[in-house]
Chains A and B, each alone.
Chain A
C-alpha cells in the first residue's frame, strides 16, 4: 500500500509538471495580451506594466520564476484584479465552490443511489419508467436551461427563493438543485444498471435461497457491488463540480472558482491561468487517488498495484 501510494504520488507530480508546461506554452501562444485596452495606452505604460509583473523577461525564465515562486506557496499577483494575489482569489473563491459542490454531490449521491436502486427493484414498472424519464431529462437538459427555469419559477413568479448570491440557507436551494441534477441522473442510471447486474449474480440467488431478508440482501450483498461504478464516477465528478459550475455561478451570481477559471483566460491574466489550472490539476489528481484507495475499502478483492 505504501509503495503503491508513493508510486502514484510520483506519477501525480509528473502529470502536474506536464500540465504546467503545456498550460504555460498554450497561454503564451494565444494572441492578445493582458494589457491590451480598447483605448490606446502609451507604450511607456505597457512597458512599466510588463516590467512590474516580470513579463519583459524571456519566456523560459518567466516559467522558471513562476514555478519557483509557486514552490514557496506564492502564486503571483493577478494582472487584472488590481491589488489581489492569485492566492487571495483562490482562497476566497474555492471554499464557496467547495461548499456548493459538496452539498450538490451529497444530494446527487444520496438521491441517485436511492433512485437507482428503486428503479432496478421495480424494473419495468411505472416507478422505474418515471425515474428513467426524469434521469434522461437530467442528462439532456443543459444546466443553463435548468437554472433559468428554476430562477423564473421560484424567483420571479413565486418569489419564494432568492435569485442570487449565497447569503442565506434558502439561497443554496436553486444553485444546488441545478448543479446536482445532472450527476444525480447519471448516478441513478449507473446505480440501476449496477444493481440489475448484481441482482442477477449467483451469490444473490444463493443468499436468497438461504432465506436472507430482502433489505439485508440489498444492503449487504447487492449494494456493495453495484456502487463501484458510482465511486469511479465520483473522482471526475468532484473536479467537474468545482470547475464546471461556471454557468451556475454566473446565473446565480455566486463568487466561486468556476468563474475565475474561465474569466482569467479571456482576460489573459497569466498568473491566474497558471494557478487556477495547476490548483485544479492537483485537485483532480488527489481526488482520483482517494477514489482508488476507496475501492479497496468497498471491495477487498481489489488489490492495488
Chain B
C-alpha cells in the first residue's frame, strides 16, 4: 500500500517537474529587474528589429539597420532632438546661388571613437566607396544628385575620383551636384553619406564585425555585436556634443517574433518595442505605452498595365474605386492606418515646409464612408464603359502577394469586394518572398500587392519610380507627359516649381491609375511611459540619444 502511494506521489511530482522544467532552480529571481536598474544607470534596452544583414552604412538595406548605424555615426547634417535637420559634423555649409555647389567647413572638435580627428578625406573616401560598383551597394542610387554618382555605379564612368566631392584640406569639402536638389541637406543626414575610416574599412570585409574596427564618429560606438541576440552601443566621450547625450548605453535586442517581443516588453525586459502581434492592437491602443505616428509609406496594389484587361485605364479605375478602404484599415489592419486617396503618403513636406504635400494636393477620390455607394456606382459604370457590364466576360485573373497573414487578409477582402460589387472573379496566390519579388520585377503577374517606404522626406521618392525608365516601375506603365513633369521637378531647385510639377504628375498617375493606393502606413510602437524624448521620424528612424529615463514622476 505504501509503495502504491509512493509511486503515485512520485508520478505527480514528475508531472509538476515536467511543467516547470528542471524544477526548484534557485536562479528564478534574476530577471524582471531590468526596469529599475535601467532607471538608475541611464541605460536603455530596446527592440527595433531582428538581426540586420549588415551595419555597414553602405550595405545596410533595412530601417532597423539604419537605427543601429545612425546612433554610431553622424553625417554633415543630422536629425536633432526635435526631429529636425540640423548641422552635424559640418560647422558651415554654403550653397552657391545656382544650387549646384556646396562648400562645407567641418567642425574643429569632431573625432572618431578612437580619438583621431574626422577629416574631409573620410567623407570623400566613404562617398567614393558607396558608388564604386565593387562595393555593390543597393543604395548607391541615393548619391544620384552628386556629379557622376550615377555614371560611376552603373559602370559608365570607371574613375571613382571623378565623383563630385573633393577635399581642399582636412577641414574643407566641395560638393558638386548635377542639378539643384532641394532635399540635399536631408540626404546628408542619411547613412549613405556618412564618413568612414579608410584604414579600418579598406580591404576588410569584416570591419563591421569587431568593435575594434567598427570605429564611428557619432554619439555612440558599438561595444558588442552578439549575433542574433544583441548589439550594444556605448556613449562616446570623443563626441563633440556629448553633454547633450543623455543615455549612456543602448542595448538593441535583436528579436524577430512579435509575441516574444511583446512578452519581453510586458516583463519589463524591454523599454521600447517596435512590434507586437496585430491581434493585440485593441489592447494596446488605449494604453499609455502606445504610440502611433504617421509614416512616409504607402500600401498599394500594382496593375500589370501590359496585360489585358488591365491595360485599360477604366478597368483600373473601376477596380480601385470599388475598394472599401475604411473596411480594410478598420477591420483588417487595425493599427490606425489612413485610407489612401492618393499615392504620395502623409508625412511628406510641401514647398512651404509647414504644410504637407498631401494637404496641398488634396484627395483624388473620396474615401469617406458616406461616399462609398456613389463610388461603387461609378465603378460599375466605368466597368460597363470598358466593355464589361456587370462584370460580364471579364476574365478571371490572379492577385498575387508574398506569404504573410496580413497580406492574405487584404487579398481576401479585395477578392470578395471585386466579386460582390463588380461581379468579377479573382484567384489569390501566395508566393514566397524571393519568388514574389522576382515575378513582380519581371512582370509575371496580373495584379499584385506592393508597398513603398520613402527613402527621404520628399515626394520625388514616391514619384520618380513611375517614370518609363525607372527600374522600380513594376506596373510597366509609361506616360510621356508624366516623364516630362518628373524631369522638370528633378531639374530645378525652385521648390514652388518642383512641387507644382509633382502635384501635376500625381494627378496624371491617379487618373491613369497604374497603381491603386490602399492605405498610408502608420508606425506603431510601445514605449515605457517613464521614458520621454525618444525621437521618431516619418522615415522610421528612432533616436534614443536624447531620451530621459524616469522623467515622469
Give A contacts to B, CB under 8 Å.
Answer: 30-33, 36-42, 44-46, 48-49, 52, 77, 80-84, 89, 92-93, 107, 111, 114-115, 118-119, 121-122, 125-127, 130-131, 134, 138, 148, 151-152, 155-156, 159-165, 168-174, 176-177, 181, 184, 250-255, 259, 266-268
**Cβ-closest chain A residue relative to B436:** A32
Sample (7) of A-B pairs whose CB atoms are under 8 Å apart: A41-B138, A121-B7, A126-B8, A138-B18, A155-B266, A177-B19, A253-B229
- Judge if B281 is at the interface, Cβ distance under 8 Å: no
Given contacts A45-B137, A162-B32, 16 further A-B contacts (CB under 8 A): A37-B437, A49-B136, A83-B208, A84-B227, A107-B22, A111-B14, A111-B17, A114-B14, A122-B7, A155-B263, A155-B264, A163-B31, A163-B269, A177-B21, A251-B260, A252-B260
A residues near B28, Cβ cutoff 8 Å: 160-161, 170, 173
Q: Are A169 and B25 in contact (CB under 8 A)?
A: yes
Q: Are A31 and B438 in contact (CB under 8 A)?
A: yes
* B416 CB → nearest A CB, Å: 27
Shortest distance in angstroms between A136's beta carbon and chain B's nearest beta carbon?
Answer: 13
Please give, as numbers and ranges, the residues of chain A lying within 8 Å of B206 by CB-CB distance.
Answer: 83-84
Contact between B31 and A162, CB atoms less than 8 A apart:
yes
Chain B residues with CB below 8 A from A170, complex form: 25, 27-31
What is the number of contacts between chain A and chain B, taking CB atoms within 8 Å?
210
Chain A residues with CB under 8 A of B253: 164-165, 253
- Chain A: CB-nearest residue to B440: A38
Kindly state the separation between the CA atoms of A48 and B54 in the bound complex, as whole angstroms. 18
Residues of B within 8 A of A176 (CB): 21-22
A110 to chain B, nearest CB (A): 10
In whole Å, how far is B49's beta carbon from the nearest beta carbon of chain A? Answer: 12
Residues of A within 8 A of B155 (CB): 44
Contact between chains at B54 and A163 (CB < 8 Å): no
- B20: Cβ under 8 A from any A Cβ: yes
The residue from A31, A82, A181 contacting B208, defined by CB atoms under 8 A apart: A82
Segment touching A, from B94-102, B427-435, B540-548: B427-435
With contacts A45-B136, A48-B133, A162-B31 known, is A173 near B21, CB below 8 A?
yes
User: Closest 7 A-B residue pairs measured CB to CB?
Assistant: A40-B471, A32-B434, A255-B228, A127-B11, A82-B54, A173-B21, A177-B21
Q: Which residue of B19, B133, B205, B255 is within 8 Å of A45 (Cβ)? A: B133
Least distance between B30 CB and chain A CB atoms (Å): 5
Complex CA–CA separation, A156 to B141 (angstroms): 45
With contacts A32-B432, A83-B205, A156-B266 known, is A173 near B20, CB below 8 A? yes
Closest approach, in angstroms, between the C-beta of B516 and any C-beta of chain A? 18
- Is B134 positioned at the interface, with any CB of A under 8 Å from its CB? yes
A residues within 8 A CB of B255?
Answer: 164, 253
Query: From residue B116, how far is it (CB to closest CB) to chain A in Å?
Result: 22
CA distance A53 to B15 in the complex (A): 53
The answer to whether the Cβ of B161 comes within 8 Å of any Cβ in the partner chain is no
Query: With A48-B133, A164-B260 in contact, is A255–B226 under 8 Å at CB?
Result: yes
CB proximity of A297 to chain B, nearest CB, Å: 28
Q: How far is the CB of B380 from chain A (nearest CB, A)?
A: 35
Whole-angstrom CA separation of A168 from B14 in the bound complex: 24
User: Is B303 interfacial (CB 8 A cutoff)?
Assistant: no
Task: Give which listed residue, A84, A134, A148, A152, contacts B15 with CB less than 8 A.
Answer: A134
B138 touches A125 (CB 8 A): no
Flag if B138 contacts A45 (CB, 8 Å). yes
Interfacial chain B residues near A84, Cβ < 8 Å: 206, 209, 227
Whether A36 lies near B437 (C-beta < 8 A) is: yes
Contact check, A151 vs B18: say whether CB atoms are below 8 A apart: no
| B257 and A173 contacting across the interface, CB-CB below 8 Å | no
Q: How far is the CB of A57 from chain B (nearest CB, A)?
A: 17
CB pair A131–B15 under 8 Å, yes or no, is yes
Contact A83 B209 (CB under 8 A): yes
Question: In the complex, which residues of chain A have a beta carbon less than 8 angstroms from the beta carbon of B4?
Answer: 122, 125
Query: Bound complex: CA of A30 vs CA of B266, how far in Å?
Result: 41
The answer for the CA separation of A30 and B27 in the assembled complex, in Å, is 47
| A127 CB contact (under 8 Å) in B10, B25, B209, B435 | B10
Q: Residue B263 contacts which of A48, A114, A163 (CB distance < 8 angstroms)? A: A163
CB neighbours (8 Å) of B53 from chain A are 80-82
Contact check, B154 vs A42: say whether CB atoms are below 8 A apart: yes
Q: In this complex, which of B155, B267, B268 has the most chain A Cβ atoms within 10 angstroms of its Cβ?
A: B267
Most chain-A CB neighbours within 10 Å: which of B8, B14, B134?
B14
Interface flag for B495 (CB, 8 Å): no
Q: Are A165 and B10 within 8 A (Cβ)?
A: no
Decide: B56 and A82 in contact? CB cutoff 8 A: yes
CB neighbours of B11 from chain A (8 A) = 115, 118-119, 122, 126-127, 130-131
**Residues of chain A contacted by B267 (CB below 8 angstroms):** 155-156, 159, 162-163
- How far, in whole Å, are A39 and B253 apart by their CA atoms in the complex? 27
A42 touches B140 (CB 8 A): yes
Q: Mark B211-235, 1 if CB is under 8 A from A, else 0.
A: 0000000000000001111100000
B404 to chain A, nearest CB (A): 12
**Would you call A130 and B12 a contact (CB within 8 A)?**
yes
Q: Are B31 and A161 in contact (CB under 8 A)?
A: yes
Max chain B CB contacts within 10 Å: which of A80, A127, A160, A259? A127
Q: Which residue of B lies closest to A165 (CB)?
A: B229
Smallest Cβ distance from A254 to chain B, in angstroms? 8
* Closest chain A residue to B439, Cβ basis: A31
B residues less than 8 Å from A92 (CB atoms): 227
**Interface presence of B259 (CB below 8 A):** yes
Cβ of B434 and Cβ of A181 under 8 Å apart? no
Contact among B30, B56, B433 for A83, CB-based, below 8 A = B56
Contact of B259 among A83, A148, A255 (CB under 8 A): A148
* Cβ–Cβ < 8 Å partners of B539 in chain A: none
Which residues of chain A are within 8 angstroms of B227 by Cβ–Cβ distance? 81, 84, 89, 92-93, 255
Contact between B134 and A44, CB atoms less than 8 A apart: no
